[in-house]
Structure 1
Amino acid sequence: MLLAIDMGNTQTALGLFDADELVRSWRMPTDRTFTADEIHVRLLGYLRMYGLTLECVDEIAFAGVVPQLTREWRAFAQRIAARSIAVGADTAAVTCIHAPHPEEVGADRIANAVAAEKLYGAPSIVVDFGTATNIDVVDSDGYYIGGAIAPGLRISMDALVARAARIASIPLETPPHAIGRTTEEAVQSGAVLGTAAMVEGLVSRIRAELGAPEARVIATGGLANIVADSTNVFDVVDGQLTLKGICEIARRMRDRVPHTA
């Protein structure tokens, strides 16, 4: 089976695939101090929760923004004799990117674009709610062509709490009104509804630039459901989109370069 890994700045998502089927998924903190030994122990624990063993993993595919952790995951893959693939320059032959500097495009954005085109068609727009709010655009030919990057919802909230002495930590929830009746509701309106309004505005502009008013819009990422409750701009909410894109890229690489033990 394939273990797909989406290493974000804050959280790491893991998905275990049997062919194209996602059979198990987990999330854990992205800790830059993790070694291959720590990864070994963590993964072994997750698998044992479902009666699985490391022997079921014969391939590991990464999309990561933390180079030192990618190295440790590669070392772990070598330890268990699993084939390893890192989304990026090594997989450029099976992904479609039209950008001035393709090497600068984040691996998670490449995976999102691949999954969006395969599962939901082109043109399409992916909004990924993580540490940053990334908007990834796939044109009518199925190519990733760029997008937008904004501070993430939780980063914005954390910065507000840190800088505003009288605002305590407030839960990230959709408020009942745009006009907040209390301080908590007012902050939630600004953060959650404000993020939704930003996405609506950017999606409208992107659709206009694409000349594709019906381009599908897919939400993903750890905070997608919170914002999706506040807007009707999304056609689909797929929390596992990035993992599915990683799986698809690995499949394309496997078909292109036969694996030999």
Structure 2
Amino acid sequence: MLLAVDMGNTQTALGLFDGTELAHSWRMPTDRTFTADELHVRLLGYLRVYDLRLECIDAIAFAGVVPQLTSEWRAVAQRITQNVVAVGPQTADVVRVDAPHPAEVGADRIANAVAAEQFYGAPSIVVDFGTATNIDVVDDRGYYIGGAIAPGLRISMDALVARAARIASIPLDTPQHAIGRDTVEAVQSGAVLGTAAMVEGLVARIKDELGSPRARVIATGGLANVVADSTDVFDVIDQQLTLKGIAEIARRMRDR
């Protein structure tokens, strides 16, 4: 089985693939102080929930935007198997990237683009609601060509709470109305509906630039469902898109 690891700034997602099927998945906090030993123990615990052992893993692939943890995860992987793939320069031959500086493109964005093209076709637009809100664009050739990066929904809320003395922490729920009748509704409208409106506007502009009004729009990331309830801009919601992309890149490396 293949273990895919997506190291985000806030959360790390783990996915265990049996062939092309995602058999099990887990999420854990991304803690930059974790050592390889701590990560190893956590992985053992997740596997035991399903009566699985480390021996069931014959390949590990990971993508990360947290350099401090990349070497730790690599150390964990090398304890388990010699078949280890890190999305990045070593995988450049099996992905399609048409950008001025390919090495600067985040591994998670490459994984999203690969999964979008593989499973949903091209052209496509991925909106990943994580620490940042990333929009990744795949053109009609199946190439990742760029996109947009905006502050994430939770970061924006945290900044507002920190700077506005009279606004306490407010749950990120979808409001019923754009006109908030009290402070909670007003903040939810600005945050959630505002994010949805931003995505709608950027997606419309991207489709115009692509010349592809029917490009598929895929939502992923931890807050995708919250925003998706506020807009009809998405054709697909796939919370495991990044993991699928990491696994697909690993399969291409194996088969090349």
| Partner amino acid, structure 1, of 2:222 | G
The residue that corresponds to 2:156 in the other structure is 156
Equivalences for 1:79-90 in 2 at 5 Å?
79-90=79-90
Report the counterpart of residue 216 of structure 1 in structure 2.
216
Contact 2:60-2:81 within 8 A present in 1 as well: no
Asked if residue 104 in structure 1 is aligned to residue 104 in structure 2, the reply is: yes
Instruction: Using structure 1 for the length normalisation, give the TM-score.
Output: 0.97
1:114-143 CA-partner distances (Å, limit 9, x unpaired): 000011100000000000000000000000
Q: Alignment partner of 2:14: what SS?
A: strand
Equivalent in the alignment of 1:230: 230
- Aligned residues of 1:221 and 1:239 also touching (Cα < 8 A): yes
Q: Note the alpha carbon deviations across 1:143-172, whole angstroms, 9 max, x for none.
A: 000000000000000000000000000000
- 2:44 maps to amino acid: L
2:16 aligned partner? 16
Q: Are the equivalent residues in 2 in contact too, given 1:57–1:82 (CA < 8 A)?
A: no
Report the counterpart of residue 244 of structure 1 in structure 2. 244
Q: Deviations over 1:200-223 (max 9, x none)?
A: 000000000000001000000000
Question: Whole-Å Cα distance in 2 between the matches of residues 78 and 122 of structure 1?
Answer: 35
- Residue 41 of structure 1 is matched in structure 2 by 41
CA displacement at 1:70 relative to structure 2: 1.1
Q: Any gaps of 5 or more consecutive residues in structure 1?
A: 257-261
Q: Which residue of 2 aligns with 1:259?
A: none
Deviation at 1:78, TM superposition (A): 1.3
CA displacement at 1:30 relative to structure 2 = 0.4
2:138 corresponds in structure 1 to: 138
Report SS of the residue matched to 1:177: coil
Partner of 2:255: 255
Contact 2:57 2:81 in 1 (8 A): no
What is the distance in 1 between the residues matched to 2:93 and 2:87? 11
2:128–2:134 contact (8 Å) kept in structure 1 = yes
Aligned to 1:174: 174
Amino acid at match of 1:152: G
Q: Aligned equivalents of 1:47 and 1:62: distance in 2?
A: 17
Distance apart, 1:67 and its partner CA: 1.5
Shift of 1:83: 1.4
CA distance in 1, matches of 2:166, 2:82: 52
Decide whether the 8 Å contact of 2:175 with 2:189 is kept in 1.
Answer: yes
Aligned to 1:45, the other structure's residue is in SS state helix
Q: Which TM-score applies when normalising by structure 2?
A: 0.99
What SS does structure 2 have at the residue aligned with 1:180?
Answer: coil
1:175-190 to 2 correspondence within 5 Å?
175-190=175-190
- 2: distance between equivalents of 1:214 and 1:131? 28
Which residue of structure 1 lines up, in the alignment, with residue 58 of structure 2? 58
Aligned residues: 256
1:68 is displaced (CA, Å) by 2.1
**Structure 1 position 198 matched with structure 2 position 190:** no
What is the SS of the residue equivalent to 1:150? strand
Superimposed CA distance per residue, residues 177-209 of structure 1 (whole angstroms, 9 cap, x where no aligned partner): 000011000000000000000000000000000
Residue identity matched to 1:216 = R
User: How far off its partner does 1:56 sit?
Assistant: 0.6
Q: Distance in 1 between matches of 2:31 and 2:83?
A: 23
Q: For the residues of structure 2 that align with 1:226 and 1:27, how far apart are their CA atoms?
A: 18
Give me the whole-angstrom Cα distance separating, in 2, the residues matched to 1:144 and 1:110.
7
Amino acid at match of 1:26: W
SS in 1 for 2:180: coil
Moved more, 56-65 or 189-198: 56-65
